[in-house]
Structure 1
Amino acid sequence: MRVFVTGATGFVGSAVVRELLDAGHEVVGLARSAAAEASLAAAGARAHPGALDDPVSLRDGAKAADGVIHTAFVHDFSDYSGAAHTDLRAVETLGAALAGSGRPLVVTSAIAVLTAGRIGTEDDAPDPTALSAPRIPSERAALAAAENGVRASVVRLPPSVHGAGDRAFVPTLIGIARATGVSGYPGDGSNRWAAVHRWDAARLYRLALESAPAGSRLHAVAEEGVPLREIAEAVGGRLGLPALPVAAEEAEGHFGWLTPFVSADTAASAALTARRLGWRPEGPGLVADLAVGGYVNG
């Protein structure tokens, strides 16, 4: 299958590209720079010049493919709504390009679109008051495409997609710990992050591309919820720093822009995903991954 991948040089997307190539698929990755084109060529994929905010490049890439995996997202949390709006327009463009074809479209969403404080399932509808509510319209647009002749599915990613090369929330926590001399956690640290290893997530994207029924919502979750205190203790242990609670009134000063994410209780199950697609995570857990030192020393 010829697969068009957005975000193909990103942390998750590059793992998806490797997974697809190893499974015998041909990959064409969206590339907005010469460096991205070179990276894709080195991986054994082809480059399609364009950008997430260039609908013509997205449309043309999708129309020339047998299937599409959309992992790109503008990770600008100072303008989360703006980033989500760009994502929505991209999903709508990809869905329109594939309309009536029966071809697969796999779109990325987040576990944090669900109600916090409980273990979310694939069948749970998004919560408009949730932490990642700005991403809900993209999920809905994907499911709308499924009603318009596209075998569209949604992969919800957890707060921690971990592994070598991670540049997201956990490395930010490590940076904060280094800067403050404390590996902090909010309150009593009992709130949780669902987690998955990068390569396990990549395998789920491939399975979704190959066999997910239209309208499927899938969870890339290996661990339903890792307490923030355990994460902070693992970070502190590697850095030789104390793991200590951070009071609610001090959280913003300590965690900065990460405060709402580190304070959220974002747990979820992937039992239905496992049953529907036979997906079984094999990578190390988040705390185990931290223990080997790649995050702290990288």
Structure 2
Amino acid sequence: MRVFVTGATGFVGSAVVKELINAGHQVLGMTRSEKGAEDLRAAGADVHHGTLEDLDSLRSGALQCDGVIHTAFIHDFSDFKKNCETDRGVVAALASALAGTDKPLIVTSGTVLGAAKPGDVATEDFVATSETTHHPRVASEEAAALAKQQGINVSIMRLPPSVHDRGDHGFIPMLINLAREKGISAYIGEGANRWPAVHRLDVASLYRLALEKGISATYHAVGDTEIPTREIAESIGKHLNIPVKSISAEEAPEHFGWITDFFAGDFPASAKISQERTGWKATHIGLLEDLETGDYFDQK
């Protein structure tokens, strides 16, 4: 297949590009920069210049291919809701380019949307809507649901809060930097609230399998189903040689800032249905082992 990949030079997208090419697929990768274009060519992909704000460029890329994997997102959490609404429009634009075909479109979302209430284990069969959750990321899933009603072969790939590997610039590096700055590695309350996680290369293989399966479905890319946040804080404290401390929910916003709601969340998630549907299994190291053996503490 020839596959259009948005976010093709990003942390997740670049792994997807390599996974697809290694499996014999052709890739048309979207980038906004010449450096990104050079990286894509070096990986063996063709280049499509475009941005998420340019809906015509998105439609053009999709029209040239046999399927679409949408991994791009504007990761500016200072205006998270607006960026989620931007993604709603992006999904609609990509879907419109595939109208009248059975070409697959895979949209990216989060496992946090897969549970009816906090603390429930998120599963693939839970349908997220504005009525079931106030999380802004539901915009992407609602756009996917609308596209499905219009006959588009659309799937949803939910990712956990931590997708880890060398080059990670998400929540875990943010927690490490906060611990360095504050001089303590903190968790909230008993730190019993749980995060799922997955290695980036395992994510890439599930995107490929979902694309090749070609059926409209929801997938969970989850390796670690539930890691207590206390254990994440303890690993960080150990490696930075600083105290590990519980702080109260009232103290948390001053310590963690805007990341508080994410680190305070209880988000266990299962990938059982995804495994049964595709034969996929996470085979790379888990988050705690990656913290132990990876390069997280070499990054500044």
TM-score norm. by structure 2 comes to 0.96
Please give the per-residue CA displacement for 1:237-271, whole angstroms capped at 9, x wherever unaligned. 11111211121111111111110000000111110
CA distance in 2, matches of 1:284, 1:251: 30
Q: SS of the counterpart of 1:294?
A: coil
Deviation at 1:144, TM superposition (A): 2.6
Number of residue-to-residue matches in the alignment: 297
Alignment gaps of 5+ in structure 2: none
The corresponding residue for 1:74 is 74
CA deviation vs aligned residue, 1:188-219 (integer Å, no higher than 9, x gap): 100011111000011000111110412x1110
* Mapping 1:22-61, distance limit 5 Å: 22-61=22-61
**Is 1:251 aligned to residue 252 of structure 2?**
yes
- How does 1:197-276 map onto structure 2 within 5 Å? 197-214=199-216, 216-276=217-277
- Gaps in structure 1 of 5+ consecutive residues: none
Partners of 1:189 and 1:217 in 2: CA distance? 30
8 Å contact kept, 2:165–2:294? no
Instruction: Name the structure 1 match of 2:147.
Output: 145
Corresponding residue number in structure 1 for 2:125: 123
Q: Which amino acid aligns with 1:4?
A: F
Q: Which of the numbers 192, 195, 219 marks the counterpart of 1:193?
A: 195
Shift of residue 100, structure 1, vs aligned partner: 1.5
Partners of 2:143 and 2:129 lie apart in 1 by 16
Partner of 2:297: 296
Measured in 1, the distance between the counterparts of 2:284 and 2:131 equals 32
RMSD, aligned CA: 1.4
Distance 2:180 2:263 in 1: 17
1:143 & 1:127 partners in 2: Cα distance? 9
Superposed CA deviations along residues 93-143 of structure 1, whole A, max 9, x for unmatched, are: 000100111001000011112332111110112264888721112112213
**Residues 161, 195 of structure 1: 8 Å contact kept:** yes
Counterparts of 1:97-136 in structure 2, within 5 Å, are: 97-113=97-113, 114=115, 115-126=117-128, 128=130, 133-136=135-138
Q: Percent identity?
A: 51
Q: Please tell me the residue identity of whatever aligns with 1:292.
A: T
Letter in 1 for 2:79: D
Deviates more, 1:249-258 or 1:166-175: 249-258
SS of alignment partner, residue 167 of structure 2: coil
Q: Following the alignment from structure 2 to structure 1, what is the Cα–Cα distance between the partners of residues 170 and 205?
A: 20
The 3-state SS of whatever aligns with 1:296 is coil
